[in-house]
Amino acid sequence: MDDTTATDVYATARRVLPGGTFGNFPAEVVIREGRGGRVWDEEGREYVDYLLGSGPMLVGHAHPEVTAAAQAQIAKGTTFFANNRLGIELAEAIVEAVPCAEQVRFVSSGSEADLYAMRAARAFTRRDKILKFEGGYHGMSDYSLMSLAPPRSGNFPLPLPDSAGIPKSVRDEVIIAPFNDADAVADLVREHRDELAGVIVEPFQRIIPPLPGFLAALRKITAANGVPLIFDEVVTGFRLAYGGAQEYYGVVPDLCTLGKVIGGGFPLAAIAGKAEIMAHFDKSQVGDANFLVQIGTLSGNPVAAAAGLATLAVLRRPGAYEQLHATGRELMAALGGLLKAAGIAAQISGEPPLFDVVFSAEPVRDYRGTLAGDAGLLRRFNALLRERGILKGESKYYISLAHTPEDVRFTIEAWQSAIKALTA
């Protein structure tokens, strides 16, 4: 597409989309194509892609095996509503891979998966309140959009809604705790045990790893008080390790949610967990009063399932996670080294498959630690990097199996040049 046509695309976007965007990413970026670890925009500019479609494209864009699997299914029909073999096989692959997963229910997005996981915990315990962590992201439901990104720190455990349009009453059903503070969680769980339906946590919150022992303490506190523990593994599932964060950190929740990687770039997500909680999706097991009705037009979609299965097959190959982690480790070390050499106070926070820099002199252990970072400097750095052919989210580098040594070299050079411009 030439420049004139690209200009038309931007103008149309501004006319027909609020803010000129789908809501996800700045309007000035319109991506035309992706292959492997790279994408091209409508003006033909090439980027090393660390956005990865916000995470799903772990094995790279247009991976030949994923493309072939999806195309083969497309030729045979794209959705049936009824069960299909590929969706059943994907559920089996999840049960085999993910430690807590005895059964699986498919939905189309991570937001929905989190919404239903919380509802399943409520149905199971017949209690209402959910404890979540400040800065923890669990999609876009009314319950999840509490203290995700408060501009100022609130008072624990009171939630601050993140969006207009959320009923005031929802606030009463959500309890907010500080991430990585097991003592605070223990106090809250004990205080609210009779009304607490579940604790939902990103085991690796945004780019903040759990402190040693934090997840184990959560597991112990929730089990001791009869409160289901939900890991939101929409990001970490099949990314930190094949069995997700629960395998990587060695702590098994009661329920988890999955998305992104399991759909291979198509809309598909899941709730997975212990059979006794998943039973609430089955009226024949729990009866009318305890039944959690759950229906979705595209649930278990066979094209998404085909792409997901092909993605998982690539990830099961020997050496896949070693390579992913090695690429990420090299990049993390390089970025940390360059910023240190430039005398810029910075923390490289994350795990090798997913990290970013926080411009702060203090280690980041919770949302308030992120807030302490220099957000303006990060925005400038990201903008300088985009000019130098690096595409990334606001606060994340997603690493792909498709990122090559040449991509790494290109990235390090872009960092060097952007840091020079920052300090000039």
Ligand X SMILES: Cc1ncc(COP(=O)(O)O)c(C=O)c1O
- Which residues contact ligand X by CB under 6 A? 54, 109-111, 114, 137-139, 202, 232, 234-235, 259, 269
For residue 132, indicate whether it is catalytic: no
Smallest separation, CB 98 to ligand X (Å): 15
Q: Which of 114, 181, 232, 254 is catalytic?
A: 232
Please say whether the beta carbons of 301 and 87 come within 8 A: yes
Q: Which of 137, 143, 242, 398 is catalytic?
A: 137
Tokens 């990104």 identify what position?
Answer: 149
Smallest separation, CB 114 to ligand X (Å): 5
The rounded radius of gyration (Å) of the Cα atoms in the chain is 21
Q: Which of 129, 260, 274, 396 is catalytic?
A: 260
Q: Measured at CB, which residue is nearest to ligand X? A: 110
- Distance CA(2)–CA(44), nearest Å, equals 8
Q: Toward ligand X, which CB reaches closer, 201 or 277?
A: 201
DSSP 43: T
For residue 137, indicate whether it is catalytic: yes
H or E element, residue 118: helix 110-125
Smallest separation, CB 109 to ligand X (Å): 4
Smallest separation, CB 204 to ligand X (Å): 9
Quote the tokens at residue 98.
């993910």
For residue 232, indicate whether it is catalytic: yes
DSSP 237: T
- Distance CA(159)–CA(44), nearest Å, equals 44
Q: Toward ligand X, which CB reaches closer, 201 or 384?
A: 201
Quote the tokens at residue 137.
């992201």
Pick from 114, 119, 138: nearest CA to 129: 119
Smallest separation, CB 268 to ligand X (Å): 9
- Distance CA(299)–CA(79), nearest Å, equals 9
Smallest separation, CB 420 to ligand X (Å): 32
Q: Toward ligand X, which CB reaches closer, 111 or 347?
A: 111
Burial class (CB in 10 A: 0-12, 13-18, 19+), 277: buried
Exposure string over 185-219, b if 16+ CB within 10 A, otherwise e = bbebbeebeeebbbbbbbbbbbbbbbeeebbebbb
Q: Toward ligand X, which CB reaches closer, 215 or 269?
A: 269
- Distance CA(176)–CA(185), nearest Å, equals 9
Q: Toward ligand X, which CB reaches closer, 231 or 415?
A: 231
- Distance CA(206)–CA(95), nearest Å, equals 25
Q: Toward ligand X, which CB reaches closer, 202 or 407?
A: 202
Catalytic residues: 137, 232, 260
